[in-house]
Homo-oligomer: A and B are copies of this chain.
């Protein structure tokens, strides 16, 4: 068990999730191989880094706040490739429509080590569940990193 390599791969996954939720699309792109194959649930499937990043950039403006937290890493390394299973909990707040998506999934990933270090070569998840609800009238957003001060 090469603990240092396993930790490098965990750090890669944390960078991927942090740059996703902070909408840092250039950093996000660097966590993926150019030929990455990404499948999120049953509806979203992408071939290639440009398509994944393009989709995220387009569909996640500041009015959509996301939370993607991955837990329980089970990682196996074999030379310059590795596989990993993670337990995702996610939440998406569509603030303009007062909708909230919540869900959980098991991710299975492939990782590859190249000139730019470890990157995600394949990522897919199967949901245990996904639900959508309207936020009740009493729900108030107190703070958002992407809030803009309305003009006076």
Query: Which chain A residues have a beta carbon within 8 Å of chain B's beta carbons?
Result: 1, 3-4, 6-8, 11, 13-15, 17-18, 21-22, 41-42, 65, 67, 69-74, 85, 87, 89, 93, 101, 103-104, 106, 126-136, 138-145
Tell me the interface secondary structure of chain A in the complex.
strand
| CB contact between A133 and one of B6, B87, B104, B136 (< 8 Å): that residue | B136
Q: A15-B74, A17-B72, A133-B140 are in contact. List 13 more A-B contacts (CB 8 A).
A: A1-B4, A3-B7, A18-B85, A21-B87, A21-B128, A70-B72, A101-B142, A103-B142, A129-B143, A130-B142, A132-B142, A133-B135, A133-B139
The complex is assembled from copies of this chain, and their number is 3
